[in-house]
Amino acid sequence: MPSSGFKIGRIFGIDIVINITWVLILFLLAISFGELFRTYSTDPGGFNQPFPGGIWPWAAGTVTAALFFVCLIAHELSHSLVAKRHGVEVKRITLFLFGGVAEMSGEVPDPGSEFKMAAAGPGASFVIAGLFFGLLFLASYLDLSTVILLPLRSLVELNIAVGIFNLLPGFPMDGGRILRAIIWKKTGDLKRSTRISTIVGKGLAVVMTAGGLYLLFANFTVAGIWLIFLGVFLYLLANASYKQTLYNLAAADTKVDDIMFTDVPVVDAETTLTNLRLQYFGPYRLPVLPVAVGGSVTGIVSEKDLEGVASAEWDLLNAGRISKPIPVEKTVPPGTPLTEAMKSMKSFNDFILIVKEDDILGILSKQELLNYFDMRMKLQKK
């Protein structure tokens, strides 16, 4: 999933992340708006005065692009807030191209929730369009300058366009999720409904790309490039989202016991830190290890804590000195679904201990997850 980017803020406990493509998009949008506004400086169209020339179209274009960007965040946030209300945790929103992706942990619980979550975004876009229409109405009533009126009208049109575009019935667009929810409700089969709506999504992407090529050759260069861009992007996104869904479904079927590392060595509390490194962390590559006093586990020692101690002291201190009690939130009982366990992991470098009545049965860390996803990937290719 194209989810890398930089964080610009946090709203309602959700990180807002900007994909690097967005810098380019913002720039292209500002120029597109500027270019549009500039044409109104020679012919005012339906407005009673022309758009001022010089720097004005570009300045207004940049402001409009920035406002549009806020509208997209509102669109994504409305998905996330509805998701949260239905018990789906949203970690962050990544914005790219004409929308974004609300990154949810795991899959949606039921078709009804999916339907509401998906519909919330386009709904928000239409409401925002309505708000800007109200402002436009007020501004024209007050006979304000075209510098105000034209950007407002553009924002009305663009938000309507975003609402409609996102309602296209191809997964993973909102309309595709709505379609999936409807098929899911009818068939009870999430996998099949995802596959069908993904095929529709890819079909739409191909049509868009073809339409873009046609426009390109018909000399509507800018519109053509936008459409090709969107088509290719949507095709890749449909593929990635489908795989993600299969992963999530498979992870929901898998129990921690199936993939955990079971031969976890127990470190005696008397072990020096030098030996802890040489005999344990070196060969085992686990982020934490259980520490025992006289055979019974009393806590854990982490590689991070070991690295926090100056190496000059490694021969003088023992594992018991830097061990900590087992954090309850880092333990799950055997039989826990993998998706459930992964929710307790903050990152890929984190860990989960599988514990039954003070016995550490196994550990789940980066290596186990990598092996698991690698295996799933190979199975899918067959």
Q: Which residues of the chain form contacts with Zn ion (CB under 5 A)?
A: 121, 166, 174
Measure the CA–CA gap between 35 and 53, rounded to whole angstroms: 11
| Cβ closest to Zn ion, residue 198 vs residue 318 | 198
CB of 178 to Zn ion, least distance (A): 10
| Cβ closest to Zn ion, residue 168 vs residue 319 | 168
CB of 97 to Zn ion, least distance (A): 12
Contacts by 295-298, CB closer than 8 A, 24 or more apart: 296/358, 297/266, 297/326, 297/358, 297/359, 297/360, 298/269, 298/323, 298/325
CB of 175 to Zn ion, least distance (A): 9
CB of 121 to Zn ion, least distance (A): 3
Other residues' Cβ atoms within 10 Å of the Cβ of residue 351:
19
> Rounded to whole angstroms, what are the CA distances from 353 to 156, 163, 260, 300, 333?
52, 45, 9, 10, 8
Q: What are the beta bridge partners of residue 6?
A: 18
| Cβ closest to Zn ion, residue 114 vs residue 174 | 174
Q: Beta strand 90-96 with 99-104: parallel, antiparallel or unpaired?
A: antiparallel
Measure the CA–CA gap between 57 and 139, rounded to whole angstroms: 18
| Cβ closest to Zn ion, residue 103 vs residue 174 | 174
Q: Is the dihedral of CA 60, 153, 96, 227 positive or negative?
A: negative
> Rounded to whole angstroms, what are the CA distances from 228 to 208, 212, 242?
7, 5, 21
| Cβ closest to Zn ion, residue 121 vs residue 299 | 121
| Cβ closest to Zn ion, residue 166 vs residue 245 | 166
Indicate the residue whose CB is closest to Zn ion. 121
| Cβ closest to Zn ion, residue 172 vs residue 290 | 172
CB of 223 to Zn ion, least distance (A): 22
CB of 75 to Zn ion, least distance (A): 5
Those residues whose C-beta lies under 8 Å from the C-beta of residue 180, and which sit 6 or more positions away, are: 114, 171, 190, 193, 194, 196, 197
CB of 74 to Zn ion, least distance (A): 11
Measure the CA–CA gap between 276 and 282, rounded to whole angstroms: 8
